[in-house]
Structure 1
Amino acid sequence: MSKPKKLENDISIIDLFDLEWEQRTGCYILHAEELTLIETSASPSIPHLLKGLENENIVPSEIKYIIVTHIHLDHAGGVGLLLKSCPNASVIVHPRGERHLADPTKLILGAKAVYGEKFDALFDPIVAVPKERLISKKDGETLKIGANRTLTFYDTPGHAKHHFSIHDSHSNGMFTGDTLGILYPISITEGEECVLPSTSPNQFDPEAMLASLRKIEQLEVATIYFGHYGKSDNPNAVYQQLRYWLPKYVQVAEEVWEETLNYSFEERVSRITTKLLTLIEAEIGIEPNDQVYKYIAFDVEICAMGIADYLVKTKS
């Protein structure tokens, strides 16, 4: 079912069924004079996105802007394919990501290194974005999409160097991609907002992530719109959870690192994953048969890779 869910402030979200899971990754529609989408997920999600637009009575040719918070394939991998249906749209991306959307060769190689044999099912095809349809936005630059609606772009590294977050003046909300972590589906967390860090390879930087958190916090936004998945109207709780869990993730990984000096990278990642999951199970109170567990377990394995990569760079 790809019927968009209406949120407040003329915003809707389309469930893109990333990994074929409900409420995994979303595309936000900003209903403004210049119709704008934020996030596309990977190419296998584009049929869900197009169906969602159809169910919202939106013709793809009406779309003016497609914004991706960063160029990881679960956020931007489908943008080139989507453009084929959106002849009047431009793609807005962080300056560090622009050339990689125009030529996704390195993106593909990097994702294959992480996902291996799963790559095709998760991401294929990845279509290049024509250079003339790309617009980059630097820190503090703006985009007016309606008489009373301005988007402001903020450089927010930590998850990736090619990541910006977008402030929407109409909602006083911030679209944070993965910078402030992942909000797990409220419908399968017994109504509790569970936020955990997203520390994917290969540009994870915990200090930069905390600096980005502080930058967003100082803006006193009312709502956080996550790439995964949905919104929180309690930003302070989001900040608190990220500040709590991020040091724990790094501490666990560093402890494993010291204990496994003669192990392979893959063995270290496996041990970090196991130890993190054990900690999360104990502190959050989840069990392997809980519906949310598969979401968290998938993410934690990728997070472990990212922290291990960070430790290779900083401990060598």
Structure 2
Amino acid sequence: MEINMITKFYDLGNRIHLIDVFDLGLSNRTGTYVIIEDDITLVETGSSKSVPHILNGLKELDIDPRNVKNIIVTHIHLDHSGGAGLLLQDCPNATIFVHPKGARHLIDPSRLKLGAKAVYGDDFNRFFEPILPVPEEKIIIKEDGETLQIGKNRALTFFDTPGHSDHHFCILDSVSNGIFTGDTLGMNCEVVLADLGIKLILPLTSPNQFKPDGTLHSLERIKKLNVDRIYFGHFGVASDVEEVFKQIKSWLPLYVEIGEKAVQLNKDHTWIADQMFDRIKGELTRLGVPDSHQIYDYLQLELPISAMGIADYFSKKSDKTHLRV
């Protein structure tokens, strides 16, 4: 595949690099991590639209894609795994590592595609196609607590972390004592707000398996690991881990509160998204962020999807209540 584009990547230390894969056409939104060890390992693939960026990043790092040994996806949402099948064409010696509940959807992505089309509508093809199935023989399932040795002195440990989705795990790196959290600990907006030095971490509550209690349980599990840094799916690394925990535990109850109010007022997900936006904008205005800042482009993309997840959670909760009655 011939690639002609500007590559944007970051050296994060500990032989970990982050390639910006320009998810939904935005820089600093989603990335692929490259761990340079005896067994070259990638964490996240992004969508198929991200694959050229990954390949160009590997070229800049002087890595032959045929030497990539491991490709790990934290979960199977298309902005994290949708490019796996396509990427394998250029990384023929790689194996895909996935959560036990996600493997069948990589092999047959038809249900994934249907779910994503319900969320993204007419933009689906532009953002995600093509989505190629991953051959079953190329998939390895990792159970909770299992490890993967990628170098003589480097191991990755997998932790089941539901909440954002049921098919989500996080991966602890023994060298950096950092953890790749996918969407479990939300969206790190610090890179987007770097010009103002503001830290903002927001929950990611997309449909259709989001559960607030599960998210908080997974957060507490990660907290007990005493990690030194967090590698986000969206986007970059944070070393102030306590601030990450603090912000998620602050914003998530607010999202739930807005969802509860929507139920009371019989409002839909668009109302929830507007309420989320207003509350976050209020905080950013207080911190001195101008209305013209690019952070609002990211929020306008992300919040409607998170609002759908909140609405979906309360819809299912209501259905279960009616069944009990």
Sort the TM-score into its range (normalised by shorter chain): over 0.9
Determine what percentage of the aligned residue pairs are the same residue: 49
Aligned counterpart in structure 2 of residue 305 of structure 1, from 305, 308, 312: 308
Separation in structure 1 between the aligned mates of residue 298 and residue 291 of structure 2, nearest angstrom? 11
Structure 2 match to 1:52: 57
Q: TM-score, normalised by structure 1?
A: 0.96
Cα shift at 1:287:
5.2
Separation in structure 1 between the aligned mates of residue 64 and residue 298 of structure 2, nearest angstrom? 32
Aligned counterpart in structure 2 of residue 12 of structure 1, from 7, 11, 17: 17
Matched residues, number: 310
Separation in structure 2 between the aligned mates of residue 238 and residue 185 of structure 1, nearest angstrom? 11
Separation in structure 1 between the aligned mates of residue 71 and residue 116 of structure 2, nearest angstrom? 22
Aligned 8 A contact 1:287 1:293 in 2? no
Which segments of structure 1 move beyond 6 Å, counting only runs of 4 or more?
none
Give the counterpart letter for 1:297 in structure 2. Q
Cα-to-partner distance string for 1:31-73 (whole Å, 9 max, x where unaligned):
1110000001000111111011111111000000000000000
Structure 1 match to 2:166: 161
SS for the counterpart of 1:193 is: coil
Give matches, 1:97-108, under 5 Å. Answer: 97-108=102-113
Structure 2 match to 1:82: 87
Cα separation, partners in 2 of 1:185 and 1:236, compared to 1, 3 Å:
closer
Aligned counterpart in structure 1 of residue 295 of structure 2, from 271, 287, 292: 292
Cα separation, partners in 2 of 1:181 and 1:187, compared to 1, 3 Å:
closer
Give matches, 1:92-241, under 5 Å. Answer: 92-189=97-194, 190-241=196-247
Cα shift at 1:20:
1.2
SS for the counterpart of 2:185 is: coil
Cα shift at 1:4:
2.7
Separation in structure 1 between the aligned mates of residue 294 and residue 192 of structure 2, nearest angstrom? 10
Separation in structure 2 between the aligned mates of residue 7 and residue 15 of structure 1, nearest angstrom? 13
Unaligned runs of 5+ in 2: 1-5, 320-325
Structure 2 match to 1:275: 275
Cα shift at 1:3:
4.2
Larger CA deviation: 190-199 vs 243-252: 190-199
Give the counterpart letter for 2:75 in structure 1. H
Q: TM-score, normalised by structure 2?
A: 0.94
Separation in structure 1 between the aligned mates of residue 206 and residue 8 of structure 2, nearest angstrom? 30
Cα-to-partner distance string for 1:196-237 (whole Å, 9 max, x where unaligned):
000000000000000000000000000000000000001100
Larger CA deviation: 7-16 vs 180-189: 180-189
Aligned 8 A contact 2:161 2:168 in 1? yes
Aligned 8 A contact 1:273 1:301 in 2? yes
Unaligned runs of 5+ in 1: none
